[in-house]
Amino acid sequence: MNEPEKKIEFKDLIKRDAVKEKFEQMMGGKGATAFLLSVLNCVQNNDKLQQADPNSVLMAAAVAGTLNLPVDPSLGMAYITPYKTKGVYVAQFQIGYKGLIELGHRSQQYQIINVSDVRDGEYKGVDRLTGKMDFNWMQDNDERNEIDVIGYVAFFKLNNGFTKLLYMTNKEIDYHAKKYSKTYSFSEGSWNTNRPGMSKKTVLKLLIDKYGPKSVEMMKAIKSDQAIVGDYDGNRLQYIDNPDDKVIDLDELNRQKERQRVINHIENSKTVEMLEQCYEAIPDEQTRELYDAKMNQLKTNSK
């Protein structure tokens, strides 16, 4: 009678030469060993991750490693989180709001990118015609911390001057979380253990995903968020935390890459003639706004 195959532990998995070589390759030889040890530390400090399929932990770590984001939970850049499905634990990759900000700065397209909570009395309203929102920020942090949080706001300003913000109330964030995350009501889930961080990530992620130019790294982070990763390249993503239980649409990812190519052309255009070369390829209204802003800038500079 054959004995059951012994389950490999994560600490043994990362000792394999093939694993170490793959991470060295993905990370350009920059600190792959130290990174894998930091992932091991996360596993050893989390009972649920210790029970998770070690390969799912490794693949989630591969996403963070490729993005060069640390997975130490105290840093808030990226997380490897356990999720129980069909009686077993698997690991998800999760991007933190600080990780999104870091990737935005790396892209060199954002002059400012930030997210903040909004306290009672700070939100003054919106001009329904222009869409402009008005805030009156409290400056005394000690006094401010005593006031209830009523929502969260994310903001960015691009190098070409284009700005956009998104404000969501607590109620709107709760609605979105309940719709798209089964773990919203879990006592051990991120929404209960780190609600401020999850709220900030939600608002910032929605703003960037809809209006912001995204580098390849940012697209990978957004697409991989809350996914079970099936391979080193991050092409097989399953969203078991999402009620739709969907698999990533690679055609959509290619459309996003083409959109980013057009945005890069807009950002790098030095003349009106160069800018006009991408006019026919503009994919959506948000990219057209970027195009128009760049055109106005070039015409103003040429006077």
Tell me the CB-side half-sphere exposure of residue 196, using CA atoms within 13 A.
Answer: 9
Tokens of 250: 């690679």
DSSP 127-192: -TTT--EEE-----HHHHTTSPEEEEEEEEEETTS-EEEEEEEHHHHHHHHHHH-GGGG-TTSHHH
Buried b (16+ CB within 10 A) or exposed e, 13-22: ebeeeebeeb
User: Could you report the per-residue pLDDT of 104-134, keeping only the tens digit for each?
Assistant: 999 999 999 999 999 999 999 988 888 889 9
Which DSSP string do the residues of 237-270 spell out, in sequence order? EE-TTSTT--B--HHHHHHHHHHHHHHHHHHH--
Q: How far is CA 206 from the centre of its chain?
A: 9
Lowest mean pLDDT among 13-22, 81-90, 141-150, 272-281: 81-90
Arithmetic mean of pLDDT, 40-53: 92
The average pLDDT across 17-34 equals 88
What are the C-alpha distances in Å from 205 to residues 63, 154, 190? 17, 9, 16
Closest CA to 26 of 234, 218, 249: 234
Facing residues of 134 across strands?
A: 125
pLDDT of residue 243: 47
The pLDDT assigned to 6 comes to 60
Please report which confidence band the pLDDT of residue 87 belongs to, taking 50, 70 and 90 as the band edges: confident
Type of residue at 32: A
Mean pLDDT calculated for residue range 171-188: 79
Determine the pLDDT at residue 139: 95
The neighbouring-strand residues paired with 133 are 126
Q: Which two tokens stand for residue 51?
A: 């029970």
- Given a cut of 70, whether residue 5 has pLDDT beyond it is no
Domain ranges of the chain: 10-95, 108-213, 255-302
- Give residue 281's pLDDT: 87
DSSP letter assigned to residue 234: S
pLDDT confidence bin for 241, thresholds 50/70/90:
low
Confidence band for 150, pLDDT divided at 50, 70 and 90: very high
What is the band of 251 on the pLDDT scale with cuts at 50, 70, 90?
low
pLDDT tier for residue 258 given thresholds of 50, 70 and 90: confident
Give the three-class secondary structure for 94.
strand
Residues of the chain with pLDDT > 90, as a percent, come to 51
Query: Which of 64-78, 246-260, 269-283 bottoms out in mean pLDDT, i.e. has the lowest?
Result: 246-260
pLDDT value, residue 1 = 44
CB neighbour list of residue 291: distance below 8 Å, 6 or more residues apart: 266, 275, 278, 279, 282
On whether the CB atoms of residues 137 and 251 are closer than 8 A, the answer is: no
In DSSP terms, 113 is beta-bridged to 156
Is a pLDDT exceeding 50 seen at residue 4?
no
**Pair 275, 266: CB distance under 8 Å:** yes
CA–CA separation, 199 and 153 (whole Å): 10
- Among 292, 296, 299, 291, smallest CA distance to 265 is for 291
- pLDDT for the residue numbered 283: 86
